[in-house]
Amino acid sequence: MDEIKIIIVDDHQLIVNGLRAMLEPIKGFKIIGEANDGEEAVLKADDLKPDVIIMDISMPILSGIEATRQILEKNPQIKILALTQHEESEYVIQIINAGGYGYLLKNSRKEEFIEAIFSVFKGEKYFSKKISNLLLSNLLQDKKTETKENLTKITLTKREQEITKKIAEEMSNQQIADNLNISLRTVETHRRNIMQKLNVKSAVSLVRYAVQNQLISLE
């Protein structure tokens, strides 16, 4: 396998030096450059065309997230692996949306770090175990919230939607009955049930609620 050309980006030179010392002895890795801020990273990426960039997130001048976005606009073949102390899910989502291929915490084990570099180089997404658990936890919470919202969502039957639309068109109960070929009592019953279901007390409120919540369309 050809050597994996790597650029290290971090605003702390001690970390850059430590990463270089750790990676350079590993067969298959070649450190071809380093940068101390996002803007410099964009320039180095365009000039050196690395295979993988190890990218810090919080940096001066240009953040790692914005640097990732700019780098990949010009060089979409580069694989970017975020290496950061931030464990918050919003950072993970932002780096993914920017095009990043992986996310590691700075306290990750050396073996996991090496595995992550090989993985993203091959085009595989890689997230540390802690980050993977965080993403899964957030996904399950979102699903739980979505399920709860679906259970409480108010829906109108097809007939109720028809009658609500007629009310919105300012038709009287008798006109609705004649138009739908049903009895006046049926219309009155449906109207009462709709207002109870939507917890409104007037025709104006009924129509406003139904339109705002997309229960009907007036097109």
CATH number at residue 100: 3.40.50.2300
Distant-in-sequence, close-in-space partners of 186: CB < 8 Å, separation ≥ 6: 177
83 strand-pairing partners:
104
Domain containing residue 181: 158-212
pLDDT band at 151; cut points 50, 70, 90: very low
pLDDT band at 218; cut points 50, 70, 90: low
**pLDDT for the residue 215:** 63
Let me know whether 92 and 189 are in one domain: no
Determine the length of the chain: 219
Q: Are 52 and 140 in contact (CB under 8 A)?
A: no
Q: Is residue 145 part of a domain?
A: no
Q: ∠ at Cα 67 (63, 69), nearest 5°?
A: 120
Q: Is residue 192 part of a domain?
A: yes
CATH number at residue 169: 1.10.10.10
Per-residue pLDDT at 111 exceeds 60: yes
pTM, full prediction:
0.61
Q: Is residue 80 part of a domain?
A: yes
Let me know whether 102 and 179 are in one domain: no
